[in-house]
Structure 1
Amino acid sequence: MVKKVIHDPLFLAQKSVDATEADKQIVTDLLDTLRDNLDRCVGMAANMIRVKKNIIVVATGPFQFAMINPVITKKNGAYQTEEGCLSLMGVRPCTRYREIEVDYLDENFKKKHGKYSGNVAQIIQHEIDHCHGIVI
C-alpha cells in the first residue's frame, strides 16, 4: 500500500532498529511508495513512511529492490557530492564512496551480499544514512 512520505526532520533523525520477518508488509509498502514516486525519487528508507526499521528500497533502471538490515562491509573511493531527498527541501553536501559492498537480507529474508558502484552505490549509502538517523 502506498504510504504518505513524511517531512519531519526530528523523526528522520532517529535511529531505526533491525527488521524481522514480521515486518514483511513494511517492505511491500515501501516498494509501493517508491514506485508511486519514481518520477522524483530513486530510493527510500522505512523511516520516510514513519516506520523506524532498517529497510531500504532502491530503484535502478526499470527495477526496484529491497534491502533489509543492510550493512556496508567495504567501501572504496571517497568523493564529495551534494544530495537532495524526497523528505527534505534543498540539497546538502556529503561524502560518498564509488564502490561499496553490502550484507543484507532480501525481501524473502534470505542473506545476500552485493557489490555496488556508481549511482546505485550512492543511493544505497543515502538510504542507509536514513536508517542511522543521518539526515542528508
Structure 2
Amino acid sequence: MVRVIVRDELFLKQKSEMATQADAPIIIDLIDTLRANQEHCVGMAANMIGVKKRIIVFSFGISIVPMVNPVIKKKLNPYETEEGCLSLTGVRKTKRYESIEVEYEDQDFKKQKQTFQGWVAQIIQHEVDHLEGVII
C-alpha cells in the first residue's frame, strides 16, 4: 500500500526499533511507496512512512532492494556532498563514504553481508541515518 510521507522532524529524529518477521508487511508498503515516488526518490526508510522499525528500501537499477535491520560495519574514503530528502525541503551538506560494508537481513529475514560503493553506498548511508534519527 502506498503510504503518506512523514515530514514531522520530531518524529523523524527518533531512533527506530529492530524489525521482526511480524513487520514484513512494512517492506511491501515501503516498496509500493518508493515506486509511487520514484521520479524524485531513490531510497526510503520505514520512519518516512510513519513506522519506527529498522527497514529500508532503495533503487538498484530497475530493482528495489529491501534491507531489514541494516548495520554499517565498515566505512572507507570519506567525502562531502549535498543531499535532498523526500521528507525535507531543499538540500543539505553531509559527509558520506565511498565504500561501505553492511550487515542486514533480506526480505526473507536471512542474514546478509555485502559491500556497496558509490551512489548506492550513499543512498544506503542516508537511509540508515534515518533509522538512527539523524536528519541531514
- Whole-angstrom distance in 2 between the partners of 1:96 and 1:108: 29
Aligned AA (2:114):
G
Aligned AA (1:80):
E
Identity %: 58
Query: In structure 1, the residue corresponding to 2:134 is in which secondary structure?
Result: coil
TM-score, structure 2 length as denominator?
0.99
The number of aligned residues is 136
- Whole-angstrom distance in 2 between the partners of 1:10 and 1:89: 15
Aligned AA (2:123):
I
- Uncovered stretches (5+) of structure 2, i.e. residues with no partner: none
Query: In structure 1, the residue corresponding to 2:90 is in which secondary structure?
Result: strand
Q: Quote the offset at 1:60 in angstroms.
A: 1.7
Aligned to 2:60: 60
Aligned AA (2:32):
D
Aligned AA (1:115):
T
Aligned to 1:51: 51
C-alpha distance after superposition, 1:30-55 (max 9, x if no partner): 11101111101000000000000000
Aligned AA (1:85):
C
- Uncovered stretches (5+) of structure 1, i.e. residues with no partner: none
Q: Quote the offset at 1:105 in angstroms.
A: 0.2
Correspondence 1:35-46 to 2 at 5 A? 35-46=35-46
Q: Quote the offset at 1:71 in angstroms.
A: 0.3
Aligned AA (2:24):
K
**Pair 1:127 & 2:127 matched:** yes
Aligned AA (1:2):
V
Aligned to 1:91: 91
Aligned to 2:101: 101
Query: In structure 1, the residue corresponding to 2:89 is in which secondary structure?
Result: strand
Structure 1 runs of 4+ with >6 Å offset: none
- Root mean square deviation of aligned Cα: 0.5
